[in-house]
Structure 1
């Protein structure tokens, strides 16, 4: 018996990221009592929709230096060698390996590379639908949530290690533009 892989509810082809309506955010515990939130301003991504889920993929790159936590001094410290070390880790790169689901609820599995370390990651994805814009373009929207452990990527904080949580929650809100 053969089972068919379902098609995505999107037009096939290469969908381009709409950077003006997309964001990559994160949250991490500080002192164990609250969370620091931030975002990366420079992201690039492409969604390739195939005729089936198996023929579909997403790849994305984030410029680490574009971090914004709302505090320039904190941003500079996060980018310094004793924490994220932007010189060693200039980008975060994601490559999908599997997509599953239906309707509004999906799971996106892939590999996240930070510096020289690549680890698996899974995102719970909510498909927001497709909308026509007045300029004739069509946009598809997605919200995705996942988490990593910073120590898995060799991101340590030296003597202040206990001040910063290990789990980093990742929140994506992205729109892609349908191919013509």
Structure 2
């Protein structure tokens, strides 16, 4: 097994949610760690995958909103500072993969499946192998205890229930 590191300057873990039922708010987590080991990363079915995100690093480009997301109304970062994901099953799906695992947000763990696209393998100008992957899933935030909302005068709610998560990764063999 080879250990791979995430090149965080060329990777992102982001999300989007409906705002006021008419537009989307996008954000990302700036600080995270990953443990990816595989016999051959061109065949993701050989991999062991674990991620841990620092919730306080959430960034939606709005400090007031970010602070609200860190509060007890949402993530409660003082008590639940991390989000974790551990893959439990990886299946090949044509040229792509289905990566299922345990996602823990706050004190709730649920199984989620990411649709993963293998972007390919290359060698950077410094002779290091580079592997690219994109992963997406959708989940109901309320399933993880993220239930705060506000009713709108015109009907509907301020924050949508469905969260789209998009992960873009560039991985390199550990030195």
TM-score by structure 1 length?
Answer: 0.86
SS in 1 for 2:83: strand
Q: Give the Cα separation in 1 of the matches to 2:78 and 2:174.
A: 35
Q: Give the Cα separation in 1 of the matches to 2:45 and 2:94.
A: 17
User: Which of 142, 147, 156 is residue 133 of structure 2 equivalent to?
Assistant: 142
Consecutive unaligned residues of structure 2, counting only runs of 5 or more, are none
The aligned runs of 1:26-37 (5 Å cut-off) are: 26-37=15-26
Aligned-pair RMSD on alpha carbons? Answer: 1.9
Check the 8 A contact 2:103/2:112 in 1, yes or no. yes
Consecutive unaligned residues of structure 1, counting only runs of 5 or more, are 1-11
Q: Give the Cα separation in 1 of the matches to 2:94 and 2:129.
A: 18
Deviation digits for residues 12-37 of structure 1 (CA, Å, limit 9, x no counterpart): 41111111111000001111111110
User: Which of 92, 99, 106 is residue 108 of structure 1 equivalent to?
Assistant: 99
Q: Aligned residue pairs: how many?
A: 169
SS in 2 for 1:38: strand
Deviation digits for residues 58-78 of structure 1 (CA, Å, limit 9, x no counterpart): 000111110110111111111
TM-score by structure 2 length?
Answer: 0.89
User: Which of 82, 97, 102 is residue 88 of structure 2 equivalent to?
Assistant: 97
Deviation at 1:55, TM superposition (A): 4.5
